[in-house]
Amino acid sequence: MAEKLAMTMDGRQIEVEAGKTLLDIARENDIDIPTICFHEATTANGLCRMCVVEVEGQRVLQPSCIVKAGANMKVQTRSEKVIRARKTILEMLASTMDLSDAPDILSMMDEYGASHERFPDAERRESQVKDDNPMYIRDYSKCLLCWRCVQVCADDAQYTYAINFEGRGYETQIGTFFDKAIPETTCVMCGQCVGVCPTGALKPKREYLLELGKSPAEISVMNTGKKQRKVKG
């Protein structure tokens, strides 16, 4: 049996197993903490800071996906500071990228009363859809830099190292070696990056084409060089 310790979350005295993160504990106790970059299958990096909570005695807010429970810790998951940070992060996201394929984030924005127009005249991160392989497309206008694709491509799963980062700061974008097309990289088309993408920035090619209005029949012969099937009369 794991060691138990006592702590307080949102005023509730709870007994928890040592070694668990504050996020684990919140979820076990039906306390809702929003997350964006967190994924059970990838290493938690504490990037999005949506899961931050206020821990008594700590100068700055703490990422609950990483910080582990401590004895007698007093945690507030919805303090004024926490709410301001989450709302502002959501508003900055909306002013930065295309959230149209990210329903979870859109509902977080509703919940926190975050405005889509909070930052007028903000420079957005926009880029052309990269359609360079038969498996998936990359639309970095929809990328919120959760890093999951880079992580699963590297040490968190596939050890393929086809993608990494371009630029830094606000100019950061996921990219390949000198912007090579995917088939010219080490990509093995495992599809794990597409599976962990939370915003539709990486999308199966078929889904993308369907959204563009192509019919399944048209899609099935694309890129194959075959003659289009005739409907039997």
Partner 1 sequence: MSEFDLSLLKPALEKYISMGRPGLLPALHAAQNIYGWLSEPVAAEVAKALRVPLADVHGVIEFYAMYYNKPTGKNVIRVCADPACGLRDADGLLKKLCREFDVNPHQTHPELDLTIEPSPCLGLCDQVPAMLVMKGNHAIEDFGVDEAFRPISPVGGTLRMLTKNCGGETTSLKKYGEYSALKKAKAMSREEVVNEIKASGLVGRGGAAFPTGVKWEGALKAEGDAKYVICNADESEPGTFKDRILMLDDPHMTIEGMCIAAYAIGATKGYIYIRGEYPYIVPALENAINEAKEAGYLEDLDIEVRVGAGAYICGEETALFESIEGKRGFPRVKPPFPTTYGVFGKPTVINNVETLCNVPLIISMGSAEYRKIGTEKSPGPKLFCVSGDVVKPGLYEVAFGATLRDVLDMAGSVASGKNLKSVLFGGAAGAFATSEHLDVKMTFEDLRAAGLPLGSGVVMVFDDTRDMRDVLKRLGHFFAHESCGKCYPCQMGTQRQREILDRVADGNVQDGDFVRLQDVGWTMTDASLCGLGQTAASAVLSAMNLWPELFGADNN
Residues in touch with partner 1 (CB under 8 A): 36, 45-50, 52, 60-61, 63, 66, 81, 84-85, 87-89, 92-93, 95-96, 118-123, 144-145, 154, 161-172, 175-178, 185-186
Pick between residue 105 and residue 196 the one whose CB is nearest to partner 1: 105
Distances 118 to 87, 137, 146, 186, 199 between C-alpha atoms, Å: 10, 30, 22, 41, 21
Q: CB of residue 22 vs partner 1: minimum separation in angstroms?
A: 14
Query: Cβ distance 132 to 185 under 8 Å?
Result: no
Q: CB of residue 204 vs partner 1: minimum separation in angstroms?
A: 22
CB-based contacts of 111-117 (< 8 A; 24+ apart in sequence): 111/34, 112/83, 112/86, 112/87, 113/87, 114/87, 114/90, 115/91, 116/91
Q: CB of residue 52 vs partner 1: minimum separation in angstroms?
A: 5
Q: CB of residue 37 vs partner 1: minimum separation in angstroms?
A: 8
Pick between residue 45 and residue 210 the one whose CB is nearest to partner 1: 45
Strand, coil or helix: 137: strand
Q: CB of residue 216 vs partner 1: minimum separation in angstroms?
A: 34
Rounded to an integer, what distance in angstroms lies between the CA atom of residue 133 and that of residue 128?
A: 15
**Where do the H-state alpha helices sit in the chain?**
22-28, 80-94, 103-111, 148-153, 192-196, 205-211, 216-220
Pick between residue 52 and residue 196 the one whose CB is nearest to partner 1: 52
